Amino acid sequence: MPPLDTAHDHFGRRATPSHPEGQSLSAAAALSATAARTDNCVFFFDFDGTLAPIQDDPDAVQLAPGVLETIADLTVHVRRVSLVSARPVDFLRSRFPGIPLTLHGLYGLESQYVPGETITYPPALPWAGAMAELARRAERELPDEVLVEFKRLSVALHYRSAPHLGDTVHAWAQEQARRHGLRAQEGRMVIELKPSVQRDKGSVVAEEIADFSCAWFFGDDLGDLAAFRALATRQAADPNFLGVRVAVGNPETGAEVAAAADLHLAGPADVPAFLREAMKVLPRRQEPNRR
């Protein structure tokens, strides 16, 4: 990994996150600014494509080497570490057992704070039956090559193993969204149908950062753009807020994410190395993570 003060984005330019006072900063300067506010800083991470390489079978996905240990170490350097993912909370917890993370699953329809039980976003609860029926219908009506992933409050339709079926899957999903008043979230060789409630990664991040003066978000896919916008919106309203958006390389849908980011990493394997370098700058906190 290049030194932090010479980090570059995918286009060869100096990576320049926005400084709270409006100047541009190198990655090293962003970390220096973060070091002064670790007691009031949160690091957010997407899961698939950010902390773990994409796989054909979503159940087989495992963390990139070094991620588990590095994320555990990060929790003693900043006030909060949060995952914001399309995955259910139970899946996320299974990949980070015993680590004091705040978890937001299903784009924020589920949340688990430290410590605490999983909380379901109340407006989504009435949709549970409809989503179960939608999953059964998808199994019946879509080709066998399409992987239907039922997540209790959403249904993801994966066509990675059959890219030629992408148009078929999208047409079916859009028809169901129109017919049943659902929201369709596109991603990397997947389209996910969700309840029509005002909840996404952006609203989750906007809520969490209300009491923070510093936040970083690491993401790779289109669903992460809402989180990037939440940081930008807060920074525009509060010049003392430091928001840093990090794009993790994605050759499929990542161009728009990269264009919206301040810093860029090549892929999930680079995240632990970046964080290890960052923690050389960030002091250890005296208190354990708290909500």
Does position 22 have pLDDT exceeding 80, yes or no?
A: no
The reported pLDDT for the residue numbered 21 is 37
pLDDT in tens, 238-264: 999 999 999 999 998 889 999 999 999
Task: Report CA Rg, the chain.
Answer: 19
Q: Which of 112-126, 223-237, 261-275 has the lowest mean pLDDT?
A: 112-126
For residue 284, give the DSSP letter. P
User: 124-194 has which CATH code?
Assistant: 3.30.70.1020
Across 259-273, average pLDDT: 96
Structure tokens at 204: 């989750």
Q: Is the pLDDT of residue 289 over 60?
A: no
Give percent of the chain above pLDDT 90.
80
pLDDT score at 17? 41
Under the banding of pLDDT at 50, 70 and 90, the label for residue 56 is confident
For 85, residues 6+ apart whose C-beta sits below 8 A from its C-beta are 46, 47, 48, 92, 103, 104, 105, 107
Q: Which residue has the higher pLDDT, 199 or 24?
A: 199
Contact 279, 76 (CB under 8 A): no
Q: Model pTM? A: 0.86
Cα–Cα dist 102/115, whole Å: 9
pLDDT at site 285: 81
Same fold, 39-121+200-279 and 124-194: no
Q: Does the pLDDT value for residue 275 go beyond 60?
A: yes
Domain boundaries, the chain: 39-121+200-279, 124-194
Second CATH level (architecture) for the domain 39-121+200-279: 3-Layer(aba) Sandwich (3.40)
Burial class (CB within 10 angstroms; exposed 0-12, middle 13-18, buried 19+) of 257: buried
Instruction: Give the model confidence (pLDDT) of 144-160 as tens digits.
Output: 999 999 999 999 999 99
